[in-house]
């Protein structure tokens, strides 16, 4: 694990949401606080390219859209964004009546549906909920997943049978079962973080069904087996680790976002790569969810 590299010293306030775009062979990720979208990719000769766009409205997660562009969550709901025109089009406006709420993490599932959660920006009240925007355009409020102050995830097993989601302040990652109609059953705690583990943040799965979870506050990513036991850890030279995903030509590269958010200047000086995008080549392999489908 000695090939961990900061591939983009972006100084992101709240780096989040890495997602691998298989068609473009590129990684997209966001800085929520600055509402910036970043893209990192290699060309055929191995040269690195970095590009950034700014959008108004606290961009918090993105997923590739089958019809082109990206689906994205902002503080007011789900939008389609075009990188060619740098314009965003509202798809679903949500939680307009909940003061101080914004959207946070999101992921496409194995059927092309967009799942995402909201949170209390003041991190004080359990006003965060999970939603699913189906590929037929129907919005579902997933009340069976409960409410949290800070939602993270969800993410899904490669066979689509399991969902994982996080109540960050409760330090708990949950697992639920999914059927072909996306009915959620048997929701149970899967991983409980201890006093020295920080807070569980973003996560992803590998092809063996093991869950990779970022530790916000203690600078590491842990891999958990199907029984919820930690089997390995990647240590990072920064404390606030936010989300990870697999990508690269063989899907053996783990990309990891980090954040400066909440760090005093003295601590930033001690951890100068905070807010950077990291990558590490590992033995395990990931997989890519299909692009989300826009029904209109």
Separation of alpha carbons 43 and 216, rounded Å: 32
Longest CA–CA separation in the chain, Å: 51
Read off the tokens for 120. 């209390």
What's the domain range around 84? 5-281
Of all residues in the chain, what percent carry a pLDDT higher than 90? 93
One of 105, 120, 201, 206 is an active-site residue; which one? 201
Q: What is the value of pTM for the model shown?
A: 0.96
Report d(CA 186, CA 91) in Å as an integer.
Answer: 31
The CA-atom distances, in angstroms, between 177 and each of 40, 48, 116, 160 are 34, 40, 17, 9
Q: What is the pLDDT of residues 56-80, one digit of tens each?
A: 999 999 999 999 999 999 999 999 9
Asked if residue 219 is part of any domain, the answer here is yes
- Give the strand order in the sheet containing 241-247: 5-8, 277-281, 253-258, 241-247
In a domain, 98, yes or no: yes
Of the candidates 206, 281, 286, 283, the residue with the CA atom closest to the CA atom of residue 2: 281
CATH code of the domain in which 102 resides: 2.120.10.30
Segment 76-130, tens digit of pLDDT: 999 999 999 999 999 999 998 998 999 999 999 999 999 999 999 999 999 999 9
The answer as to whether 165 is a domain residue is: yes
Question: How many domains, in total, are found in the chain?
Answer: 1
In a domain, 268, yes or no: yes
- pLDDT class of 45 with cuts at 50, 70, 90: confident
Q: Is residue 245 part of a domain?
A: yes
- Determine whether 201 is an active site residue: yes
């Amino acid at each position: 694990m000695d090939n961990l590299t900061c591939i983009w010293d972006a100084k992101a306030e709240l780096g989040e949401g890495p997602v691998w775009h298989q068609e473009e062979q590129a990684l997209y990720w966001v800085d929520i606080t600055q509402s910036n979208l970043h893209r990192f990719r290699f060309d055929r000769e191995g040269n690195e390219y970095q590009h950034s766009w700014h959008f108004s409205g606290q961009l918090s997660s993105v997923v590739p859209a089958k019809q082109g562009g990206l689906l994205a969550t902002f503080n007011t709901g789900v939008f389609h964004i075009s990188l060619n025109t740098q314009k965003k089009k509202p798809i679903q406006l949500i939680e307009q009546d909940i003061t101080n709420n914004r959207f946070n993490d999101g992921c496409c599932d194995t059927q092309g549906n967009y799942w995402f959660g909201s949170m209390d920006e003041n991190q004080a009240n359990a006003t965060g909920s999970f939603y699913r925007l189906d590929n037929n355009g129907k919005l579902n409020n997933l009340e069976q997943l409960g409410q949290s102050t800070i939602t993270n995830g969800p993410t899904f097993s490669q066979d689509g049978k399991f969902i994982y989601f996080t109540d960050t302040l409760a330090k708990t990652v949950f697992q639920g079962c999914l059927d072909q109609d996306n009915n959620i059953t048997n929701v149970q705690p899967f991983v409980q973080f201890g006093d020295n583990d920080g807070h569980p943040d973003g996560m992803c799965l590998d092809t063996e069904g093991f869950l990779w979870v970022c530790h916000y506050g203690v600078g590491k990513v842990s891999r958990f087996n199907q029984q919820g036991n930690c089997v390995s850890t990647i240590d990072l030279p920064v404390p606030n680790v936010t989300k990870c995903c697999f990508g690269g030509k063989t899907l053996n590269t783990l990309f990891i976002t980090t954040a400066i958010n909440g760090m005093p200047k003295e601590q930033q000086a001690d951890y100068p790569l905070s807010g950077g995008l990291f990558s590490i080549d590992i033995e395990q392999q990931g997989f890519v969810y299909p692009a989300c489908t826009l029904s209109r």
